[in-house]
Structure 1
Amino acid sequence: MPKELASSPPLITTELPGPNSARLIAEDERYTSPSYTRVYPLVVRRAQGAMIEDMDGNRFLDFTAGIAVCATGHCHPRVVQAIREQSERLLHMSGTDFYYQPQSDLARKLVQITPGNGPKRVFFTNSGAESVEAAFKLARYHTRRPHVIAFFGAFHGRTMGALSLTGSKTRQRAGFAPLVPEVSHVDFPDCYQCPRRTTNDSCCWKTFEQIEDDLFRRTVSPDEVAAFFVEPIQGEGGYIVPPHDFHVRLKRLAEQHGILFIADEV
């Protein structure tokens, strides 16, 4: 790929979408599932660094970065080289049938760099929703408890179990009931825009009153709760950063009752 794209400035040469992009969009809408919603009429032809070029030669500065997946930019030379070398050795793997050195190497590296001093294991998945589904099943299986607690504003995915935890928008859940039972939602603390419409910072700690006073005393005993599912920082909920010690206090509450603390940071 030409190196000049990464250092080229944004450039608009046609109306948007351009004629080539418009033709492909029309074809895509004819053959592709309407469940794929696109935010912009952008048809990407190539990308490098932080720059994207469409089918008509228009160039854009990419602020999405693959929803933060492209941390090294598009088509970083070292990433491209690693993919090229691996594709020449092996393209398909069956990790549930055989052993592969890259998989073991990556598992070891992830164990080394993730926080915590206790024993760790790695379970590889294809997506965030699949990761949440696996954690959901593991939490119930390990604890032998049925109930889980998630947060309003959370997005955990759209598969059935993950969707049951998702509490960001009604349109995510509409039409799919009944969802997985034994799921409760509580407020995620937001001291900037308090969900309880108060100006006192102490309202951020009303979450724990909801859990301990409302849920644990009136709805579900803590010894029936398998896990808390929580995003360290809510994304779809509005990029909400909770108070500094919120997760510490939630983890302490979980340990007090033998509840698993599951951080969805995908």
Structure 2
Amino acid sequence: MVAQRRELVTAVPGPRSAALQERRVRSVSAGIGAVLPIYIDEASGAILRDVDGNQLIDFASGIAVTSVGNSDPRVVARVREQVEKFTHTCFMVTSYEPYVEVCEQLNELTPGDHEKRSALFNSGAEAVENAVKIARYATGRDAVVAFDHGYHGRTNLTMALTAKAMPYKSGFGPFAGEIYRVPMAYPYRWPTGPERCSAEAFAAFVEMVHAQVGELNTAAVLLEPIQGEGGFIVPAPGFVARVAEWCHQNGIVFIADEVQTGFCRTGDWFASTHENVVPDLITTGKAIGGGLPLAAVTGRAELMNAVHTGGLGGTYGGNPIACAAALGAIETMREDNLVERARQLGGVLRSRLDTLASKYPVIGEVRGRGLMQAVELVSDSGAKTPDPAVTAALTAACHRNGLLTLTCGTFGNVLRFLPPLVISEELLDEGLSVFESALAEVAG
């Protein structure tokens, strides 16, 4: 197990990582990027150790995947036990208990006390795509409504649902049809101010769907309760609930994409709960597998059971090893009360970020919930001009000093904080001190 401390013994990246990077360039497609060209040798908890012996504080969690920390003991134990039994049969050929147990857990944990069913897949994009399939089949309608700044994946359909062109969509069209985009209730950038955002954004949503799509043609509305890649945008209060209720009134399936927000990340099991929203379908992924590829669609039994037998599935979906990992991860979330831990450490994080925002005008806004928070960086606080250059410089300074951070946002000007939920308060504090020093260096 890697000691939970930051330690730099070479420059970042070091010579062994540099040598591996040369091998990567000669063997791996240039279309696959990397945030930081270091090569990890071992990781546990909230520390990544690279091949040069540098130990970095992890504020990325593999993009919200290792929420229970790397190499969580319960995940490791369950995986070891399962891999010694069998590695694969394909659930569509012969079934096995871990798949069923994961579905039982999802049906219990996701919002709402109605009867539910679940289906397991490999990735968040697969989950979203299958949720759309289910909604279309169950309603007999074609159109799907998505939101500005949304991100839903890299398959053809989920690229169509995603708002951001670069790097996700440019050059990859044509895309799937019958996808319509509407404004997101983005309080920081709403033209008439945050206090009017919820009502005005909802009115614009209703008007656009009515005029451009038609309620009777709309199968589903797809929304992230907190937008991830789009910039950790927390919709204006009441907006998500209004949209969900409008969908219910019009016989439209409301799909909550909780691939990034799910499993304790925002200080509740699911972000929809913060506004007392019960989705018809909810997509999950990332943190569910404790580091192994797994995703799911969970929803109302009548919707999930509407599809003909054989209409859903996939060779590897719900692989037994991934299911075992998920059961270990969920056990850790329950036993270690990671919901409460995300709330507590989220308060620590928000306090530090708010203090920095009062000192550095380059921070236009601090936003998020739990341990899913971000700062939006601007060059002019009055005009709110996005500043991707300072964001990149700040990220690079963090990396040099042993803190792994990620950027996001439609304009490339948001730095996000996604530490493992098991991070110690001391290590979180140290990581934030590294961030503060980088901020002073770049924007002081």
User: In which range does the TM-score fall when normalised by the shorter chain?
Assistant: over 0.9
The Cα of 1:214 is off from its aligned counterpart by 2.9
Q: Which residue of 2 aligns with 1:206?
A: 200
Task: Provide the residue aligned with 2:348 in structure 1.
Answer: none
* 1:125 Cα deviation after fit: 0.6
1:227 to 220, 229, 239: 220
Cross-structure match for 1:256:
249
> Runs of at least 4 residues of structure 1 off by over 4 A?
none
Equivalence for 2:129 = 133
Q: Aligned partners of 1:238 and 1:67: how far apart in 2? A: 13
Mean alpha-carbon deviation: is it higher for 198-207 or for 171-180? 198-207
Question: How far did residue 183 of structure 1 move?
Answer: 1.0
Please state how far the C-alpha of 1:170 moved relative to its aligned partner: 4.5
Q: Which digits, 9 at most, give the CA deviation of each residue in 1:58-101, with x for residues without a partner?
A: 11111111212112211122211111111111112311111101
Instruction: Quote the offset at 1:56 in angstroms.
Output: 0.7
2:49 to 43, 53, 69: 53
Q: Number of aligned pairs? A: 259
Match of 1:47, SS state, is strand
Query: Greater RCO between the two (CA within 8 Å, min separation 6)?
Result: 2
CA distance in 2, matches of 1:265, 1:82: 25
Please give the TM-score of this superposition, normalised by the length of structure 2: 0.57
Decide which of 15, 20, 27 is 1:24's aligned counterpart: 20
Decide which of 182, 185, 202 is 2:181's aligned counterpart: 185
Check if 1:106 corresponds to 2:106.
no
**d(CA) in 1 for partners of 2:3, 2:140:** 52
1:167 to 160, 163, 167: 163
CA distance in 1, matches of 2:194, 2:162: 27
Residue number in structure 1 paired with 2:69: 73
The answer on whether the counterparts of 2:219 and 2:253 sit within 8 Å (CA) in structure 1 is: yes
User: How has the CA–CA distance of structure 1 residues 206 and 127 changed in structure 2, closer, same or farther, with 3 Å as cutoff?
Assistant: same
**SS of residue matched to 1:122:** strand
Q: Which whole-Å CA distance do the structure 2 matches of 1:134 and 1:103 have between them? A: 17
Q: Measure how far apart 1:201 and its partner are.
A: 1.7
Aligned-residue offset at 1:204: 3.2
Describe the SS at the equivalent of 1:60. strand
| 1-structure distance, mates of 2:3, 2:64 | 18
Superposed CA RMSD in Å reads 1.4
Deviation at 1:200, TM superposition (A): 5.4
Q: Aligned partner of 2:198: which letter?
A: C
Q: Contact (CA 8 Å) 1:6, 1:50: kept in 2 or not?
A: no
Q: Secondary structure at the match of 1:37?
A: coil
Correspondence for 1:265: 258
Distance in 2, matches of 1:259 and 1:176, equals 29
Match of 1:215 among 209, 212, 231: 209
Q: Percent identity?
A: 39
Secondary structure of 2:98's aligned partner: helix
Are residues 1:158 and 2:150 paired? no
**Residues 224-246 of structure 1: CA deviation (Å, up to 9, x unaligned):** 00000000100111111112322
Please give the per-residue CA displacement for 1:144-165, whole angstroms capped at 9, x wherever unaligned.
1111100000000010011110
Q: 1:176 to 1:169 in 2, by over 3 A?
A: closer
Work out whether residues 48 and 57 of structure 2, in 8 Å CA contact, stay in contact via their aligned partners in 1.
yes
Structure 2: which 5+ runs fail to align?
A: 260-444
Shift in Å at residue 120 of structure 1? Answer: 0.7
User: Which deviates more from structure 2 when the two are superposed, residues 67-76 or residues 199-208?
Assistant: 199-208
1:26 counterpart SS class: helix
Aligned residue for 2:143?
Answer: 147
* Structure 1 portions without partners, runs of 5+: none
Question: Which residue does 2:116 correspond to in 1?
Answer: 120
